[in-house]
A and B are shown apart, each in its own frame.
Chain A
Amino acid sequence: MSERKIGVYVCHCGGNISDYVDVEKVIDAVKGEEDVVVARTAMFTCSDATQQEIYDDIQQMGLDGLVVASCSPKLHTFTFRGVAKRAGLNPFRYTQVNVREQCSWAHTDDRLGATEKAIRLVRAGVARTRLLAPLEPTVVETVPKTLVIGAGIAGLRAAIGLSDIGLSVVVVEREAAVGGWVKEFGPLFPHEKEGRALIAQLEAEVRRRENIALFTQAEVVKKAGSFGNYVVDIRTHGKSSMTMQMEVGSIIVATGFDSYQPEEGEYGYGIDGVVTLPEYKKMLDEATGPLVYRGRPVKDVAYIYCVGSRQGEAGPHQYCSRFCCSAAVHSALELHGKDPSAHQYHLYRDMRTYGRYELMYQESREKGSLYLKFPESEPPAVQKGSDGRLLVTVRDQLTSQKEMQIPADLVVLVTGMVPRENDDLVKALKLPVGRDGFFNEIHPKLRPVETVVDGVAICGACQFPKTASESVASGLAAVTQSAAMLKQGRAELDPQVATADPELCTDCGTCYTTCPYDAISPMELPGGRRVASIAPATCKGCGGCAPLCPEHAIDLQGYTSAQILAMIDGLAREVV
């Protein structure tokens, strides 16, 4: 084996590590390891001073391998890759060893054991580093064009945002008209702007822009390629049915939601006068004064909350739909404005008018809305009264659990949002779907619009129930995310991906079907022999294929079988 020059740096992390791990002992144990030419401790390895020290060591001693034993690779992988790169060392010849989260913090009761474990972990890191080959990132040229799927309020606003930044946009909408749910709505909270007016304005703007192409009655049926160069098939259904193919750099999914449709008999649904929230909102928006339903004045309205949400054992919708409390209270305010003498009863499980919407809740109480809390185990019952009106029976937990009956002219079932049926799109894009049926982001707070599919972002209510303004905000976040990736014109992808050795491959086909990203396909060699070929830009380096290959032809760069075996040897060796 060729001689290597490896530098090892073990961090105190102030005391986070050194309080439980004897870092000097770790240094002593690895100093004599083969190929280790320098081993030091540092109070904070990530500090500028220590980064400079590592930089100097690389330059002066000509290090060709770097091991940093400190915190989780989540925190500082890019810090130390940067140090290596600046000093002229290939950044993929560096190994991060986690001796904080996975050692000192986990074994605060056992200093001796923690120290021994740290020694083993660092030895494994050295063993891997010894075998690391220099790698270069895969560079892909990106197409400056984004596909937006869904032309609701989030998709339309995202299209305009992308166009503003100078990217071409293709908007694909399944329906004949753009605007989704919001095009039907009158005043929306919190700004009281009319939904229809907002959509009209956005649509006019989208149609005016030369760098936005809008296709209605169209669907995305296929996606191929990889980040920066997706090739998508779009099928139109209108007067002329045809399939177009185009290249886009990134994709924003804004396919929206469906409203929960109560079953016949659920809270009296089906009885004349029992309506869902969207049906009620439509009636309200159309009314110019006091509400009239089927020729009869509406004087008493009862709202039943959480219909189709937080169903527990009773149904598939376990989640709180978030927006509906505020939306129902906002509708109640709309009615208070149109008919101050109307009586409004709100039958709820928990009121969640989050943030500033609390002010609407307060205003509705001041205007006379009454709130009754019913127990989850005993939901209200709706029946037709003898006088032809509706009668809602409810047990009010705020009035000594008394059971009471509310005569009502209209019962509004405050229905939540449910995921829209989009099976074909999910299949075409390989979108990650959560347990609740909505699309999943990578991290709800840290990476809120990105998905595990590179270059595919999600926004609006296809992700989780959102208000119109929240949908627009997430749409713009997706714009920023897409633009940041595409405006550079090129992207560097992680080279730590799988490769298949054509000498060993027998074209057995096991890996073709195993890859969750469709990165592996057969390729014909000049001699006519077929072998597996792995597209580096599509491969995510998950390693799923490597252990399945019966010929051991597949290796994950940076985590080759030889490297992993060497690490196991390092871990298993006696400490002294």
Chain B
Amino acid sequence: MTVLQPNLVDEVRADESFNASACMNCGVCTAICPMELEHLPREIFRYVLLGMKEELLQHQETVFSCLLCKMCEVNCPAGVHITENVRSLRHYFDRKVFRI
């Protein structure tokens, strides 16, 4: 069972602008994704917000598979800057996992 670590979002935000708090979990982004990425972006963002670090690190593949096509972003009813957030997460992986 995952124990939530509330500081994860601060860790991500340390160098990046990550903001998904307007998300109301409608799921349009997941439904509309041309890559049919099951876990992106809504759920990955939730890992960050809730502090599920292990799950986030497990989905490195998904974060880097995104085309950044912005299909989800233009259709997001809450106006979340999804592609910006994905870029932030990639940068987070670069720093944390690849140490670059």
A363-381 interface code vs B (CB 8 A; 1 in, 0 out): 0011110111100000000
Q: Report Cα–Cα, A393/B2, bound state, in Å.
A: 10
Residues in A neighbouring B49, C-beta threshold 8 A? 370
Q: Does B3 count as interface, using CB distance less than 8 angstroms?
A: yes
With most chain A CB atoms within 10 A of its CB, the pick from B1, B46, B55 is B46
Q: Does B4 count as interface, using CB distance less than 8 angstroms?
A: yes
Q: Does A300 count as interface, using CB distance less than 8 angstroms?
A: yes
Cβ A404 vs Cβ B25 within 8 A? no
Q: Does A407 count as interface, using CB distance less than 8 angstroms?
A: yes
Q: Taking A300-B6, A366-B21 as contacts, is the C-beta distance between A404 and B46 under 8 angstroms?
A: no
Write the chain B residue with the least CB distance to A371: B25
Q: Taking A393-B1, A404-B4, A406-B4 as contacts, is the C-beta distance between A398 and B22 under 8 angstroms?
A: no
Q: B2, B23, B25: which contacts A405 (Cβ < 8 A)?
A: B2
Q: Does B73 count as interface, using CB distance less than 8 angstroms?
A: no
Q: Taking A343-B6, A405-B2 as contacts, is the C-beta distance between A400 and B43 under 8 angstroms?
A: yes
Cβ B21 vs Cβ A398 within 8 A? no
Q: Within residues 1 to 58 of chain B, which ones have a CB less than 8 A from any CB in chain A?
A: 1-4, 6, 21-25, 43, 46-47, 49-50, 52, 55
With most chain B CB atoms within 10 A of its CB, the pick from A300, A373, A402 is A402
Write the chain B residue with the least CB distance to A406: B4
A354-367 interface code vs B (CB 8 A; 1 in, 0 out): 00000000100111
Q: Within residues 18 to 40 of chain A, which ones have a CB less than 8 A from any CB in chain B?
A: none
What band does the interface of chain A fall in when counting residues whose beta carbon is under 8 Å from B?
20 to 34
Write the chain A residue with the least CB distance to B24: A365
Q: B3, B4, B22, B43: which contacts A366 (Cβ < 8 A)?
A: B22
Q: Does A399 count as interface, using CB distance less than 8 angstroms?
A: yes
With most chain A CB atoms within 10 A of its CB, the pick from B4, B21, B46 is B4
Q: Report Cα–Cα, A405/B46, bound state, in Å.
A: 15
Residues in B neighbouring A300, C-beta threshold 8 A? 6
Q: Does A403 count as interface, using CB distance less than 8 angstroms?
A: yes
Write the chain A residue with the least CB distance to B42: A398
Cβ A370 vs Cβ B50 within 8 A? yes
What band does the interface of chain B fall in when counting residues whose beta carbon is under 8 Å from A?
10 to 19
A466 to chain B, nearest CB (A): 27
Cβ A404 vs Cβ B21 within 8 A? no
Cβ A404 vs Cβ B3 within 8 A? yes
Cβ A402 vs Cβ B21 within 8 A? no
Residues in A neighbouring B25, C-beta threshold 8 A? 371, 373, 398
Cβ A368 vs Cβ B1 within 8 A? no
Cβ A365 vs Cβ B3 within 8 A? no
Q: Taking A365-B21, A366-B22 as contacts, is the C-beta distance between A402 and B3 under 8 angstroms?
A: no
Cβ A404 vs Cβ B1 within 8 A? yes
A220 to chain B, nearest CB (A): 48
Write the chain B residue with the least CB distance to A402: B2
Write the chain B residue with the least CB distance to A372: B50
Cβ B1 vs Cβ A362 within 8 A? no
Write the chain B residue with the least CB distance to A365: B21
Residues in A neighbouring B23, C-beta threshold 8 A? 365
Q: Report Cα–Cα, A368/B2, bound state, in Å.
A: 20
Q: Report Cα–Cα, A367/B22, bound state, in Å.
A: 10
Write the chain A residue with the least CB distance to B10: A341
B31 to chain A, nearest CB (A): 15
Cβ A403 vs Cβ B52 within 8 A? no
Closest A-B pairs by Cβ, 7 of them = A343-B6, A404-B2, A398-B25, A405-B3, A365-B21, A399-B46, A406-B4
Interface residues of A (CB under 8 A from B): 300, 343, 345, 362, 365-368, 370-373, 393, 396, 398-400, 402-407
Q: Sample 30 A-B pairs with CB under 8 A, ordered by A number.
A: A345-B4, A365-B21, A365-B23, A365-B24, A366-B21, A366-B22, A370-B49, A371-B25, A373-B25, A393-B1, A396-B50, A398-B25, A398-B46, A399-B43, A399-B47, A399-B50, A399-B52, A400-B43, A402-B2, A402-B52, A402-B55, A403-B1, A404-B1, A404-B2, A404-B3, A404-B4, A404-B50, A406-B3, A406-B4, A407-B4
Known: A402-B52, A404-B50, A405-B1. 18 other contacts (CB 8 A): A345-B4, A365-B21, A365-B23, A365-B24, A368-B21, A371-B25, A393-B1, A398-B25, A399-B47, A399-B50, A399-B52, A402-B2, A404-B1, A404-B2, A404-B52, A405-B3, A406-B3, A407-B3
